[in-house]
Amino acid sequence: MQEKSENQFSIEFFPPKTISGEAKLDGVFDKLSRLKPHFYSITYGANGSTKRGTQELTFRYQQMGANIAPHISFGDTSEKDIIGLLREYKKSGVGRIVALRGDLPKGSNEKLRYASELVEFIREKTADQFHIDVACYPELHPESDSIKTEVKHFKNKVDAGANSAITQYFYNPDAYFHYRDYCAQNGINIPIVPGIMPITNYNNLSRFSTNCGAEIPRWLRFRLEELRDDKRGLQEYGIEVVTELCEKLLAGGAPGLHFYSMNLSASVTRIWDNLSLSGKDN
């Protein structure tokens, strides 16, 4: 059982693109509500692809009584529209946002504005109205050439006013501990919450990991490759491995966990229950 009551446990969704996807997510949301996460976050397409979906889902689930933290990026959105959006979020009771640069589709030459600029802008326009989360990368962002520049850019976001951070996912707890300690040595003292990716589909996980620079350790990769055609076996093994990862992280002082649900409930629920997070007054 977790002892530190200030720990934060949260779950991420992405806005579905179809009506049937929406109905499916409503079912997932309903099932996960038993877990009482501190908040759900909802991703945002920096190229505008899921902008409306993020807003609609945020308003709808917020109205149903959940705490929603929408992700937000400048992307192709004007400063004026960002201010309007923040105003709407505030009106609907949103108190937390996840500020990101976002990614553009491969091959695009457009330049996105850095997340630190967005954090600075939000603080300038809305003072302390929102708790701002930012992203960080224990195994380094794919565009970073060293831990030094990685952490320097992360610190820019903290200095601009970020309150806490959520990491890219990883499967090696030492990556997190080394990164957290290095951040602390470099003056970053906000909570750094590990992002947790349950394992449900090896091909997708392998593709995502290549794109975002997350390492699947060799021992894990071999085992997952063996199980790639055994959906149930892979999921069960994934639950075991990720539960153990979460236990190590929490025992080592991680200030909570953020689950990338991929809009699925089963693995998140099982891991959450394994960790005895359920039933706590989150």
Active site residues: 12
Contact flags string 103-132 toward ligand FAD, x per CB under 6 A: x----------xxx----------------
Q: Is 54:80 a contact under the CB 8 Å cutoff? A: no
246-275 residues near ligand FAD, rule: CB under 6 A = none
**Cα–Cα distance measured from residue 182 to residue 199, given in angstroms and rounded to the nearest whole number:** 28
Amino acid at position 203, single letter: N
- Shortest spacing between CB 124 and ligand FAD, in angstroms: 17
Tokens coding 240: 């075991």
Interaction between residue 96 and ligand FAD (CB under 6 A): no
- Shortest spacing between CB 114 and ligand FAD, in angstroms: 4
Complex with ligand FAD: residue 161 or 195, whichever CB lies closer = 195
Q: Is 16:22 a contact under the CB 8 Å cutoff? A: yes
- Report helix, strand or coil for 135: strand
| Among positions 51, 153, 180, 270, the unique one binding ligand FAD when judged by CB under 6 A | 153
Task: Give the residue from 119, 154, 135, 237 showing the smallest Cα distance to 194.
Answer: 135
Contact flags string 40-69 toward ligand FAD, x per CB under 6 A: ---xxxx-----------------------
Select the span of 26-34, 100-108, 235-243, 273-281 touching ligand FAD (CB under 6 A).
100-108
Integer-rounded Cα Rg, in Å, for the chain is: 18
Buried/exposed code over 187-215 (b: 16+ C-beta within 10 A; e: otherwise): ebebbbbbbbbbbbbbeebeebbeeeebe
- Shortest spacing between CB 42 and ligand FAD, in angstroms: 8
Contact flags string 131-150 toward ligand FAD, x per CB under 6 A: ----x-----x-xx----xx
Buried/exposed code over 11-41 (b: 16+ C-beta within 10 A; e: otherwise): bbbbbbeeeeebeebeebbeebeebebebbb
Start-end of H helices in 100-201: 115-126, 147-160, 173-185
| Among positions 15, 102, 194, 238, the unique one binding ligand FAD when judged by CB under 6 A | 102
Complex with ligand FAD: residue 66 or 104, whichever CB lies closer = 104
- Shortest spacing between CB 194 and ligand FAD, in angstroms: 10
The number of residues in the chain equals 282
69 DSSP assignment: E
Size of the site for ligand FAD (CB under 6 A): 25
Complex with ligand FAD: residue 79 or 230, whichever CB lies closer = 79
CA 170 to chain centre: 12
| Among positions 8, 58, 164, 168, the unique one binding ligand FAD when judged by CB under 6 A | 168
Complex with ligand FAD: residue 7 or 150, whichever CB lies closer = 150
Interacting residues with ligand FAD (CB under 6 A)? 43-46, 71, 98, 100-103, 114-116, 135, 141, 143-144, 149-150, 153, 156-157, 166, 168, 195
